[in-house]
Chain A
Amino acid sequence: MSKQEQHWEKTRNLLFITLAIWFVFSIGIFLFGAEMQESSIRPFGYPLTYWFTCQGSLAIFVILIFWFAGRQEKIDDEFGFTEREGDQ
């Protein structure tokens, strides 16, 4: 496998992990909205589903993007595909 193919495979795996986490907090948990609302887990005292829609999911997305960006930069560095001065 060429360097570029390896790079793309890692990039694609990272995408799948990122999208899996994204799926859980944007779609997955809301399949159980009514059940979660009754849960005794109450972040800051808010009902659980309510909290996820107000803050939880939103904050997780912010963190997820920065985590994803960091991982992707590592992958690019590993294969020497990071941009250099004058590339653009």
Chain B
Amino acid sequence: MIKGKFIDNLPKVYGIYTGGFLVFIIIMAIAEQAGMTAKMIGIFFVSFTVLIYALIGWLSRTLQTDAYYVAGRQVPTVFNGMATAADWMSGASFVAMAGGIYFKGYGYMALLVGWTGGYVLVASLLAPYLRKFGCYTVPDFIGTRYGGNLARFSAVIVLTVASFTYVTAQINATGTIASVALDIPFEIAVYVGLASILMCSMLGGMRAVTWTQVAQYIVLIIAYLLPVFWISNNIGAGFFPHFMLADEVARIAELEGQFGFVKNSAADLATVPKGLSAITKAHSSVNATPWAFISLAVCMMAGTASLPHVMMRYFTTPSVRTARRSVGWSLFFIFLLYSSAPMLATLSKISLMDPNLATGIIGKSITEVQALDWYQNWNQAKLMFVSDFNGNGTLELNEFFMKGSAVVLATPEIAGLPYVISGLVAAGGMAAAMSTADGLVLAISNALSHDVYYKIINPKAETAKRLIVARVLLVLIGFAGATIAALEIQGILGSVIWAFDFAMSGLFFPLVLGVWWKRANAPGAVAGMLLGLISGTAYLVWVRSGGSGFLGITQLTFGIVGAAVSLVSMIVVSLITAAPDAATQKMVDDVRVPSGKTILGKQH
């Protein structure tokens, strides 16, 4: 069936894969009709997809450094776009985003704008130039452009802090989903998630991660879009929700006015399980100040352009031109999901709130709601809660509590879709969290194995030894991440936002100025990275420990402080120390034109 080189057959291979997955969904739907239990369907969905990823990971095993680090630099534009989209869209995007929009409304939409707008910076400021450089990792660029082990090592520190914060959240997400779908305790599920992640990346490095990420993107986008379109049709909102939900948005505003936002007393709230909230903010009105919105968006945009696991995806394209176009495709594939998240939040809200719909629960009697099947299931999973605070016997808007992740996970069931869709959504969430965790674990272990071990500690190491070190580090970092994830220190979404702020604090300006400012030198870059990271972290610690902060910068936007310090210190230190030598200046000139050889060789 498949002849010739794998790369030439990609559309065919993934076409068959997608068809196979759709057939699998249909088989599951038939099995559900034939009486298969919801639990079995969940187990089938998650384990079947994870096994496929593991198979791809095994088939992509490699013993070559350029295949291990940059997938042999032969990933075509569109496929790299899909892989980046999966790499990018984490458990937070898939499971938490619609919930955030559902509860916070406008203020939260800054994340949507920030997480997409950042790609314009990636495409115009960085990706094509870093591709021309020919580096294996982001610290590889910093180390070669600025010269010296100190610059390289500083970049590794920033990368590790940012990516590690991020990866614990992703392993936490895989654990959460695996524990619900496979019905095992969270502490064990975290390691099941870790094992799946390592199976995809250990043998084949970047090559294996690339081809599993494409497969994961296909699963996650089907799992996200299918319920959105289905629910929209089910409640008669329109067959294409993105263009047809205006009436529903207006109706929600009307209902909000009717029900009112009643503030719960502290004593009442104390009875609500941790992490659950009621709707307290209007769905579509502008409820945040311009600065609150813009500062969060700016942090997410600059963070996007500094996160190494995203940047390194553009090292895998065959050329500078394809790297540039690939950024556009990445954003297109991300856009498909991100533009659907607000629609899902709208559909979820209207399903629950509108008394004219069969699914509406606000205004019904409390006992009636408590008797609903789906309520009992999700209440048991500690994702939903109702309580008659005012004692009037009917459910008010402020008396219905839900966890953010329930918006994605439970809406299909609330809207009366068959359970097969819930199983599909679980598989999609698993794919999203796994693909991002893979990219992150690989980014950290590649930086440690290539930049710290090979470039600094043992430059004479042979290929086989380098790749063994890379794999051992991969496993160690995975285990460290899982151990911390099992402690559940910070929520999924909070950790992800912090990761962006860390990356922005330490890496944004050293990366951008490395290409766009010839005068930038090693002492300046080191100062920019370290002082940026330290000041950002200090601000975070200060605000977390009760500090009042300044200029309305919160613990979610501390990257603004870090990046500002980074920029100023980098410029000042660069200008008071000697300009980079002629060879470095020539290197920057070469990076700026697409033609000619890459700065670093194919194998280095």
Chain A interface (Cβ < 8 Å from any Cβ of B): 4, 7-8, 11, 15, 18-19, 22, 25-27, 30-34, 37, 42, 44-47, 49-50, 52-55, 57-59, 61-62, 64-66, 68-69, 72-73, 76, 79-84, 87-88
The answer to whether B597 touches A33, judged by C-beta atoms less than 8 angstroms apart, is: no
- Name which residue of chain A comes closest to B250, CB basis: A45
Closest A residue by C-beta to B346: A54
- Which residue of chain A has the shortest Cβ distance to B249 in the bound complex? A46
Also in contact, A80 and B297, with CB within 8 A (given A18-B120, A59-B339, A65-B123): no
29 chain-A/chain-B pairs, Cβ below 8 angstroms? A4-B593, A7-B592, A8-B592, A15-B124, A22-B124, A26-B113, A26-B297, A27-B298, A30-B290, A30-B294, A31-B294, A32-B290, A44-B246, A45-B250, A47-B285, A53-B342, A54-B342, A58-B335, A58-B339, A59-B335, A61-B117, A62-B116, A66-B328, A69-B325, A72-B128, A82-B594, A83-B595, A84-B595, A87-B319
Interface contact A73-B290, CB-CB below 8 Å: no
By a CB distance below 8 angstroms, the chain B residues around A47 are 249, 284-285
- Say whether, besides A22-B117, A25-B117, A49-B106, A66 and B325 are in contact (CB < 8 Å): yes
Give complex CA distance A62, B38 in Å: 39
For residue B284, which residue of chain A has the nearest CB?
A: A50
On chain A, the residues within 8 Å of B318 by CB distance are: 88
Residues 5-20 of chain B: 1 if any A CB is under 8 Å from the residue's CB, otherwise 0? 0000000000000000
Contact B324 A26 (CB under 8 A): no
Interface of A is mostly: helix
Determine if B594 and A19 form an interchain contact, defined as CB atoms under 8 angstroms apart: no
Query: B residues within 8 A CB of A80?
Result: 595
B321 and A65 within 8 A (CB): no
What A residues does B243 contact at CB under 8 A? 44
User: A53-B112, A73-B321, A88-B318 are contacts. A18–B297 as well, Cβ < 8 Å?
Assistant: no
How far is B238's CA from A45's CA once the two chains are assembled, in angstroms?
13
Contact of B597 among A18, A55, A68, A87 (CB under 8 A): A87
B183 to chain A: which residues have CB within 8 Å?
Answer: none
- Asked if B602 is at the interface of the complex by the 8 Å CB criterion, the answer is yes
Extra A-B contacts (5), CB below 8 Å, given A31-B290, A83-B319: A22-B117, A25-B117, A68-B120, A69-B327, A83-B594
Does A33 lie within 8 Å of B290, measured CB to CB? yes
Q: B398-433 CB contact bits vs A (8 Å, 1 = yes)?
A: 000000000000000000000000000000000000
Nearest A residue to B243, CB-CB: A44
User: Which one of A45, A52, A57, A88 lies within 8 Å of B73 (CB-CB)?
Assistant: A88
Q: Are B328 and A62 in contact (CB under 8 A)?
A: yes
Shortest CB–CB separation between residue B509 and chain A, in angstroms? 15
The docked-state distance in angstroms from the alpha carbon of A50 to that of B108 is: 11
Give A57 to B115 CA distance when docked, in angstroms: 11
Tell whether, in the assembled complex, residue B325 and residue A54 are in contact, meaning their CB atoms are under 8 Å apart. Answer: no
Q: Select one of A45, A49, A87 contacting B247, CB under 8 A.
A: A45
B579 interface hit (Cβ, 8 Å): no
Contact yes or no, A33 B594, CB < 8 A = no
Cα of A71 to Cα of B134 in the assembled complex, Å: 23
- Among the interface residues B124, B284, B331, which one has the most CB atoms of the partner chain A within 10 A? B124
- Of A7, A33, A59, the residue contacting B593 (CB under 8 A) is A7
Q: Is the CB of A72 within 8 A of B324?
A: yes
B219 at the interface (CB under 8 A from A): no
B335 adjacent to A62 (CB under 8 Å): yes
Please, which residues of chain B bring their CB within 8 A of the CB of A44?
243-244, 246
Residue ID in chain B nearest A52 by CB atoms: B113
